[in-house]
Each structure stands twice: as C-alpha cells, then as structure tokens.
Chain A
Amino acid sequence: MFMLERRMDISRKASSLFVLLSLLLAFFVTGLIFHLLGVDVAQFYSTICNVFITPALLLQAVFRSIPIILASLGLVVAFRMGFWNIGAEGQIYLGMIAATGIVILHVSYGAIPASLMLVAMGVASFLAGGAWCLIPASLKVRLGVNEVLTTLMLNYIAMLFTDYLVYGPWRDPEGWGFALSIPFPEYATLKYCGNPSTVGIVISVAVAGFVYFLFKYTKLGFTLSVLGKSSDVAKYAGMQAGRATLLGSIISGGMAGLGGLYVVSGMMGRLRPRASPGYGYTAIIVAMLVQLNPWLILPAGVFFGGLLTAGDALQSSLRLPFSAITVFQSVIFLCIILAEFFRRYRVVLRRL
C-alpha cells in the first residue's frame, strides 16, 4: 500500500531542484497540450526562451515585474511573521493614491520643491501602504480579527476609493471629463532618474537587501521570525509580539505601497481607476514560489514578467489567444504545487 511520509531532511539544494524540475515539467506538459492542438511547439519554446535572452524583451519583463516584486517582498515580511496579508493589492492602490496626492499638492499649492518630489512621493506611498496594512494588523492584535478577511476586504475599499478620487475631486480638469488624474510632471516620474526598468531594478534590489538585512541582523526581524513559527513561544520569551506585528505590517504594506508608486510614476504617469491588473495577487504566488526568500523574489518576479511578455509574443507570432497563456501559467502553478507536495512528502510502498 502507498503511504505518505514526511521528509525531515530536505536540503535547500534539493528543494530548489524540485522547483526547477516542476518548471521543466510545466514546459513539457504545456508543449504537449499545444502540440495536440496543432501548435508549432518548437516555435512555442523558442518564443518563450527568446524573451529571457533578448535584452530588449528582458527589460520589458523587468518593467512589468517591478510592482509584483515590490509587493512580493512586502509579503515576505508579513508571511514570515505569520500575518497572512492578502491585501497587497489594496496597499498598492494606497501607494498610488499617496503618490498622486503629493503630485496634486505640489502642482496645485507648490507645497513641495520639485527636486524633492520623488523622495516625498516615495515616503508618502510607503507610509500610505503601511497604514493600510496597519488597520488589519491592529484589528488582529487588539481584537483578534482574522487578517485574511480584513486584508482582502480592504482591497475593494482601496480600489473603490481610487475610483471615487479619479471620478471626483482628482479628475483632471483638462481631461475632457474622463476618469484620470492630472499627468505627472516629468520630475515626478521615474523617467527623471533614468530608464524606468533600470530604476525599478535598483529599488527592488535595495528593498530585497533591506528585507534580508531585517531578518538576518535585526532584533525586530528575529522577533518576527519567532512570531511566525509560534506566537506562544514569542510570548513566553517576553517578546513584544503586538508591537512587532504592527511594525512588521507597516513594513509589509509600505513595500506594496512602493509598488503602487512604481505603477503610477514609472508605468502610467498618472492615476487611473483600476490601474493595477492584480499585481498584489500575483505577488502572493511569487512569494510562495520562492518560499519567502527575498533574493529569489527578484528572478521569480522577472520570470513571471517574462511569461507575460512571452504571452504578447505568442499572441502575435503563433496567434495563440490570451487564454493559451493563462493555460500555460496555470500548468506552471499546478506543477509547482505538485513539486511542493513531493518536496515535503515522499511516497513509500509499505506492506501492512
């Protein structure tokens, strides 16, 4: 009879091998499906690989992945402390709102000098995203409310609040009544510092380094990891669990807020309703995929951005519909989950 046995001795090397194998399996299975549908599989594979070896395409992949990466890094902090933050999407929206708010303050009242704009926007979007995440965190600490529900529900509030702003008080007076904010002046966009993709890489690497440093060298990071393993242990050890949760949630939401800054300031150049196509949700998958390792988030995020870019190429070259790309991504997820299962358990044949 087949039994499942938990693996206790899994090494880091073996576990990355499992992830790689699962990706290969996904490529193989998708190729098989498309082959049966009459798609030229060789071209299918070369189109995808092409994205990762052509510099211009790779830069596009990076461009699309930055908000995912930033939100994902925030989730690493939250998940490591056992705070199941599903609200990165809403925190991204708050980051967008705060950044836009600073631009409007500047343009309408001249409150902030132009040279400090990007810094001010960065701080504001971090704080806004953090504050948005602080709400469910304090509800959890004070009242014991389950954060999965509150973070998720706050996403819709953030999205609708963005709608309200761009349809209402923040509507561009020169936008013919369409729902958009004023365009950001040049110095309030990331283009001011260079190519948005390059700027995004620098920010992402810095943030990843920060997360690594936080958990490796700081007391707060240690407290958070203990909290994540067992909140009781943290309590018995006399750690200030509540305070750490609140601080961690601010950091987590703040990073998603930076993702929001990137969307408005690096990608769109103004605020629009429903500006995020679900970056905050993709971020959850990316964070889980790399088992909460901050450095691995970077390649994993770019990989997902690359799949999206490959999707564009597949649509134009092989004339596959967008749903084909969805199929491909779904197969990848399934294979990763499968690999995760076999990483944790081994199947043994046992005689009863």
Chain B
Amino acid sequence: MDKSVRKISRREFLGVTKAVAIGGIVAAGIAGGVSGYLARTPEVKEVTKTVAAWPPVEGLRPIKVGYVYVGPVGDYGWSYGHDRGRRWADERFKNVESFYIESVPEPEVISAIESLVAKGCELIITTSFGFMDGTAEAAGKYPDKYFVHISGYRSGAAGNAPQNMSAAFAEFYQLYYLCGLAAGAITQTGVIGYVGAYPIPEVVRHINAYILGAQYAYKKRTGKNIKAHVTWLFSWVAPEDARLAASALIDDKNCDVLNYTEDTPAVLMVAEDYQKKGRKVWSFSHYSDMRAYGPTAHLTGPVANWGPIYLDFYRMVATNTWQSVDIWSRVGDYMPWRWRQPLEKSTAGKEEGTVYLAPISPVIPNEWVNLIKQRYEEMKEYLFEPFTVEGHDPDGKEPIRDQDGNVRIGPGERADRGTLWSMDWLVEYIEEPLPK
C-alpha cells in the first residue's frame, strides 16, 4: 500500500523535473542558442549568462554511444540521473544514436559491453564503480573503441588503464559544504544528522564537508560547536531503512537538520512529516531537485547533471580528438561563465554546469543565503575551498581535526585531490566512529 503511494508521488516528481529541467532551462537556452543554428551562420557571440545551450553540433560524423547502467532507469536515483544526462547530451548533439542496457550485474559488465560493441557503438560509458575493471578489460580488447567509466579511478590518464579509457565523476563535496552552511544557519538544537550509504571515501568526504559547513555557520551564529550524528545504511537504495534511521536521528539524538546519501527522497519525506506535525526538521535534495517531496522541509541540496560531461566525450569521439582524461567535475566546471558573480546575480540555486545547488529555501535567513551564494561564486574561481581552516573556523584559526584530535588540515593548507579521494577519517564534531 505504502509502495503505491510512493510510486505516484515519484511520478509526480518526474513531471515536475521534466517541467523544470526541460521546459524552463532548456527552452530558454535553446531559444537563444538555436536561433544561430537555424541561420547556419557561425558567428562570434559575446558570452553572456543566457547562453545555457551548447553550440549546435553540425557537420560531424554520426556516432553511436552505448551506456551500461547498474540499476533500472526508473529507479529515480543514480541510474535515472545518468539516463537524464544521456538524453541531455543526445538532444544537443543530435547526430547520435545512443543505446543503454540497464540492471547489469557487476560480474557481467563485459557481456553488456560486448553487446553494445556488436551494436556498433564506438563510445561506451559505464556508470557504476563496480564496472571499473570490466571496462578496463574491454578497453584493452577493443583498442579502436572509446570507454568512459564513471566514479572510478582507472583511466589512461591516470596510467592504470589503456589510453582509450577515461574516468569521470561529478563531485559534490563543495555543495555538501554549502548545505552545511544552511544547516548551521537554521539548526535550533545545534545537533545535525547524516544518513550515509556506505563508509567509502566519497561519502565520508561529503559528510565531513557538510559538518564543516555547519560548524562554520553555527560557530559564527552562536559561538558554540556543532554536534553531529551519522547512521550507516550499507546500501545505496534503502528507503525504509533510511526512514527509520532519519526518525531515530530526530527522536533519539535530537537532530533537526538531516542530510543523506541515499538514492530516494525518503529522508526528506521524513523531515516533511515532522514539519506537518509541527516540529521544525529540515533536509535536502539529493542528485535531483526533490522539492516536491518536502515543500516545507527542503533547504537546498546537491544536484548533478551528467549531460555536459557526456556531450564533451561525444565531441571528442566525433571530431577524432580523443584524449584520455580523468575528470572530477566541480562547481564552475562545464559552465559557460566561470567567473564570480556579484551576490544579486549569483546563480546559486539554478541549474548550470554539472553540479549545482537545488533552489535555496527562503526560510534560511538572508545573511546566510548571501554567504552560501558568496561561497558558491568564490568556488567557481577556486577562491574558496571547504577543506581549509577558513572553511572550518569563522576566525580562520582552528585547524581541522579528526575524531582522535589529530590535526588533519592546518593553517594555509588545502586538502588536495589525493586527500579527498582517500578520506578515511571523520571530523571531530561527529559522535559515532567510522566503521572499519
């Protein structure tokens, strides 16, 4: 019974996403960009923020692209997000035929890749960590095809896979930090929670970034330290467990702002339920704009669009300019306008690039919304990074410490890619130890 209710609302949500994503942004962007396409006269245009559409691709040879998904595209989570990216890229590239195979088990990824190769695909994109070795093996077997693996660490560029394999990821830690600022700005109890999928570095750095942001805002607001609790699900998709974990964090631990890594809006829905019962509990979007699931409880949230990354690879293949790359797309990447904007023109909360914030709720006090916007804009120019003393302490003095009190990031330091990639420690404000 509960399931059917969720399904309907999920569908409703898809409707909203379509309306917002395709109707709003694409239409606006294409209206501007495509007029040039229709006129068929290439012209140098002044770059303005309204150029959201990519220049139309013309005269390139047609390509066939194959995608391998780990789940069903209807999961409204990870695989759904990648399929949205595929459609986004296809719409813009035009001269492309794309195929996908969904629900592929990890040991059988090679079979799925071979089916796509047999179909004539020359670019194959595999979108789950567990597909990494299989993709590298296929890349060795088919040196004249191109392979992109999402969320792994093997690529020709990194030197641990053939040159026809690239790696890519849309990274969220900066956005989680901004969510943390929102959490620290709005929490009344001074206790915030996180429902984590698996204790892997990706999730660990997202948790840490979120808590650092919250500590910054809460310390600045009240002079006190934030307290945080983390619960692990050991699953990417477990709406029922996520619901229970969220309720426990609220009832037993007194958390009033919850963030999470789980592929459904379950945690946000729990927060919304508490709001309806009159208790102020807040949560976020995850991977897609999920406002429809928690109109009151929704603050903002990290959202990804994989489309620009895919389109980039399409072009490399079609123009025979392939180069193995290891992309870690962050705020500012794949944006037509990589400059800081003044606050009143900030694009925080609007779709752009590959990772961006879901719309920012008006319940967050204005000064904090402004700080979120300022940090977001600064990130575009690499002027601000969460894993720094300045991101942690409003006075810019206290180093970032782990749970054992060891200094992990001191004054003048900035966490590098290796530190972020392999992060296996939690910041000091979290009560629960990291499961090992």
Report which A residues bind B (CB closer than 8 A): 56-57, 60, 63-64, 67, 163, 167-168, 175-179, 183, 263, 267-270, 272, 274-277, 308-309, 312-313, 315-317, 319, 321-323
Which listed residue (A63, A179, A268, A276) contacts B198, Cβ 8 A?
Answer: A179
| Closest Cβ–Cβ distance, residue B129 to chain A (whole Å) | 6
| Closest Cβ–Cβ distance, residue B50 to chain A (whole Å) | 35
Nearest 5 pairs of A and B residues by beta carbon = A277-B105, A267-B107, A312-B115, A177-B201, A316-B99
Write the chain B residue with the least CB distance to A263.
Answer: B107
For B199, the chain A residues whose CB sits under 8 A away are 167
* Stretch from B1-9, B210-218, B264-272, B416-424 that touches the partner: B416-424
For B423, the chain A residues whose CB sits under 8 A away are 177
Asked whether B99 lies within 8 Å of A315 as measured between CB atoms, the reply is yes
| Closest Cβ–Cβ distance, residue A92 to chain B (whole Å) | 11
For A275, the chain B residues whose CB sits under 8 A away are 106-107
Write the chain B residue with the least CB distance to A171.
Answer: B436
Asked whether A176 lies within 8 Å of B421 as measured between CB atoms, the reply is yes
Which listed residue (A57, A178, A277, A317) contacts B200, Cβ 8 A?
Answer: A178
Q: Report the Cα distance A167→B203, complex, angstroms.
A: 14
24 pairs of residues in contact across A and B, judged by CB atoms under 8 Å: A57-B118, A60-B114, A167-B199, A167-B436, A168-B436, A176-B153, A177-B201, A177-B421, A267-B110, A268-B133, A269-B133, A274-B106, A277-B108, A309-B111, A309-B115, A312-B116, A313-B119, A315-B102, A316-B101, A316-B115, A317-B119, A319-B99, A321-B72, A322-B102
For A270, the chain B residues whose CB sits under 8 A away are 133
Q: Which of B100, B101, B115: most chain A Cβ within 10 A?
A: B115
For B309, the chain A residues whose CB sits under 8 A away are none
B332 interface residue, CB < 8 Å from A? Answer: no
| Closest Cβ–Cβ distance, residue A136 to chain B (whole Å) | 25
Q: Which of A167, A177, A183, A272: most chain B Cβ within 10 A?
A: A177
Which listed residue (A177, A179, A274) contacts B422, Cβ 8 A?
Answer: A177
Q: Which of B130, B234, B421: most chain A Cβ within 10 A?
A: B130
Q: Report the Cα distance A57→B114, complex, angstroms.
A: 9
Known contacts: A56-B114, A167-B198. The answer to whether A176 contacts B422 by CB under 8 A is yes
Give the contact-size bracket for chain B: 35 or more
Asked whether B111 lies within 8 Å of A312 as measured between CB atoms, the reply is yes
Q: Report the Cα distance A268→B106, complex, angstroms.
A: 8
Asked whether B108 lies within 8 Å of A267 as measured between CB atoms, the reply is yes
Asked whether A316 lies within 8 Å of B111 as measured between CB atoms, the reply is no
For A313, the chain B residues whose CB sits under 8 A away are 115, 118-119
For A317, the chain B residues whose CB sits under 8 A away are 119
Write the chain B residue with the least CB distance to A54.
Answer: B118
Asked whether B108 lies within 8 Å of A178 as measured between CB atoms, the reply is no
Q: Report the Cα distance A176→B152, complex, angstroms.
A: 9
B73 interface residue, CB < 8 Å from A? Answer: yes
Q: Given A272-B106, A277-B108, A309-B115, 10 more contacts at CB 8 Å?
A: A56-B118, A60-B114, A64-B111, A177-B424, A276-B107, A277-B106, A308-B111, A316-B101, A316-B119, A322-B102
Asked whether B130 lies within 8 Å of A177 as measured between CB atoms, the reply is no
For A163, the chain B residues whose CB sits under 8 A away are 234
Q: Report the Cα distance A226→B322, complex, angstroms.
A: 66
Q: Report the Cα distance A312→B153, complex, angstroms.
A: 26
For B422, the chain A residues whose CB sits under 8 A away are 176-177
Q: Which of B72, B118, B204: most chain A Cβ within 10 A?
A: B118
| Closest Cβ–Cβ distance, residue A14 to chain B (whole Å) | 36
Q: Report the Cα distance A176→B114, complex, angstroms.
A: 28
| Closest Cβ–Cβ distance, residue B222 to chain A (whole Å) | 34
B66 interface residue, CB < 8 Å from A? Answer: yes
Q: Report the Cα distance A81→B153, complex, angstroms.
A: 48
Report which B residues bind A (CB closer than 8 A): 66, 72-74, 99-108, 110-112, 114-116, 118-119, 129-130, 133-134, 137, 152-153, 198-201, 204, 234, 421-424, 435-436
Asked whether B133 lies within 8 Å of A176 as measured between CB atoms, the reply is no
For A277, the chain B residues whose CB sits under 8 A away are 105-108
Asked whether A312 lies within 8 Å of B435 as measured between CB atoms, the reply is no
Write the chain B residue with the least CB distance to A269.
Answer: B133
Asked whether A60 lies within 8 Å of B111 as measured between CB atoms, the reply is yes
Write the chain B residue with the least CB distance to A268.
Answer: B107
For A322, the chain B residues whose CB sits under 8 A away are 72, 101-103
Q: Report the Cα distance A33→B153, complex, angstroms.
A: 43
Write the chain A residue with the least CB distance to B113.
Answer: A312
Q: Report the Cα distance A167→B232, complex, angstroms.
A: 13
Q: Report the Cα distance A178→B435, complex, angstroms.
A: 14
For B115, the chain A residues whose CB sits under 8 A away are 57, 60, 309, 312-313, 316
For A272, the chain B residues whose CB sits under 8 A away are 106, 130
For B130, the chain A residues whose CB sits under 8 A away are 272
Write the chain A residue with the least CB distance to B71.
Answer: A322
For B116, the chain A residues whose CB sits under 8 A away are 312, 316
Write the chain A residue with the least CB distance to B235.
Answer: A274
Q: Report the Cα distance A343→B415, complex, angstroms.
A: 69
Known contacts: A315-B99, A321-B73, A323-B72. The answer to whether A63 contacts B153 by CB under 8 A is no
Write the chain B residue with the least CB distance to A317.
Answer: B119
Q: Report the Cα distance A163→B133, complex, angstroms.
A: 19
Write the chain A residue with the least CB distance to B108.
Answer: A64
Q: Report the Cα distance A83→B201, complex, angstroms.
A: 44
For B104, the chain A residues whose CB sits under 8 A away are 312
Q: Report the Cα distance A67→B116, complex, angstroms.
A: 23
Q: Report the Cα distance A330→B72, complex, angstroms.
A: 18
Q: Report the Cα distance A309→B112, complex, angstroms.
A: 8
Q: Report the Cα distance A313→B120, complex, angstroms.
A: 12
| Closest Cβ–Cβ distance, residue A96 to chain B (whole Å) | 10
Q: Which of A179, A270, A316, A323: most chain B Cβ within 10 A?
A: A316
For A323, the chain B residues whose CB sits under 8 A away are 72
Q: Report the Cα distance A57→B102, complex, angstroms.
A: 18
Write the chain B residue with the least CB distance to A309.
Answer: B111
Q: Which of B103, B152, B199: most chain A Cβ within 10 A?
A: B103
Write the chain A residue with the least CB distance to B74.
Answer: A321
For A175, the chain B residues whose CB sits under 8 A away are 153
| Closest Cβ–Cβ distance, residue A175 to chain B (whole Å) | 8
Asked whether B102 lies within 8 Å of A321 as measured between CB atoms, the reply is yes
For B134, the chain A residues whose CB sits under 8 A away are 268
For A308, the chain B residues whose CB sits under 8 A away are 108, 111
Q: Report the Cα distance A274→B104, complex, angstroms.
A: 13
| Closest Cβ–Cβ distance, residue B157 to chain A (whole Å) | 15
For B105, the chain A residues whose CB sits under 8 A away are 277
Q: Report the Cα distance A275→B110, complex, angstroms.
A: 14
For B74, the chain A residues whose CB sits under 8 A away are 321
Q: Report the Cα distance A183→B133, complex, angstroms.
A: 9
Known contacts: A163-B234, A177-B200, A272-B106. The answer to whether A316 contacts B133 by CB under 8 A is no
Write the chain B residue with the least CB distance to A183.
Answer: B133
Asked whether B201 lies within 8 Å of A178 as measured between CB atoms, the reply is yes
Asked whether B435 lies within 8 Å of A167 as measured between CB atoms, the reply is yes
Q: Report the Cα distance A233→B118, complex, angstroms.
A: 56
For B103, the chain A residues whose CB sits under 8 A away are 322
